[in-house]
């Protein structure tokens, strides 16, 4: 079935666009809205959004592919994004990533069979002072250790982490 922006989305989008002097300046927040709604931004959604904002598909795609926060495929309920840049690397990110790969039984870019976790490594999350850092959906977890990571995984597995897609 071809993707269509819902009337609810269009109404929300019109309100968001009204905050900006130019309609196309709302591209980023509208992509965030789309991702909130579906959990990812599909090719068809990029195309529809480009039409809605009257900009090129290429411009929308460029933004979606530049920012790792946008998923282009369905992701797990918890999208674990471990920073792989220098501060996090030196503070132990490779060990945390290896632990996640082992505990979840998946590699980067993969989702667990139960649909609970997607694992990614990403560029600097801008919180280098509290490395190593992992982003789970919209929330940062900083100064991570193996113990903190295990506790977080437990919370997510038992649905106790507040930050989760409903």
Stretch that binds ligand FES, among 10-18, 65-73, 124-132, 157-165 (CB under 6 A): 124-132
What does R_g of the chain's alpha carbons equal in angstroms?
17
Query: What secondary structure does DSSP assign to 10-73, as a single string?
Result: HHHHHHHHTTSSSGGGGHHHHHHHHHHHHSS--HHHHHHHHHHHTS-HHHHHHHHHH-TTS-SS
**Sole binder of ligand FES in the list 124, 148, 155, 165 (CB under 6 A):** 124
Helix (H, G, I), strand (E, B) or coil at 145: coil
CB 164 within 8 A of CB 78: yes
Q: Is 88 in the site for ligand FES (CB under 6 A)?
A: yes
Closer by beta carbon to ligand FES, 110 or else 142: 142
Query: What is d(CA 122, CA 145) in angstroms, rounded to the nearest whole number?
Result: 18
Closer by beta carbon to ligand FES, 81 or else 111: 81
Q: Is 128 in the site for ligand FES (CB under 6 A)?
A: yes
Q: Is 97 in the site for ligand FES (CB under 6 A)?
A: no
What is the x/- site pattern for ligand FES, positions 30-69, by CB under 6 A? ----------------------------------------
Closer by beta carbon to ligand FES, 83 or else 97: 83
Query: What is d(CA 119, CA 73) in angstroms, rounded to the nearest whole number?
Result: 13
Tokens representing residue 142 in the block = 């900083």
Q: Is 87 in the site for ligand FES (CB under 6 A)?
A: yes
| Residues at the site binding ligand FES, with contacts judged by CB under 6 A | 83, 85-88, 124-128, 131, 133
């Amino acid at each position: 079935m071809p993707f269509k922006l819902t009337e609810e989305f269009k109404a929300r989008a019109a309100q968001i666009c009204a905050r900006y002097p130019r309609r196309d300046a709302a591209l980023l927040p509208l992509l965030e809205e789309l991702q909130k709604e579906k959990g990812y931004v599909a090719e068809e959604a990029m195309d529809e959004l480009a039409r809605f904002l009257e900009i090129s598909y290429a411009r929308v795609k460029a933004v979606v592919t530049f920012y790792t926060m946008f998923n282009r495929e369905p992701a797990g309920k918890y999208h674990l994004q471990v920073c792989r840049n220098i501060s996090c690397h030196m503070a132990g990110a490779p060990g945390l990533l290896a632990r996640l790969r082992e505990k979840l039984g998946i590699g980067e870019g993969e989702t667990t069979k139960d649909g609970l976790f997607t694992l990614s490594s990403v560029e600097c999350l801008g919180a280098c002072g509290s490395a190593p850092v992992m982003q789970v959906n919209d929330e940062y977890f900083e100064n991570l250790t193996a113990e903190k990571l295990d506790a977080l995984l437990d919370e997510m597995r038992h649905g106790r982490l507040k930050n989760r897609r409903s």
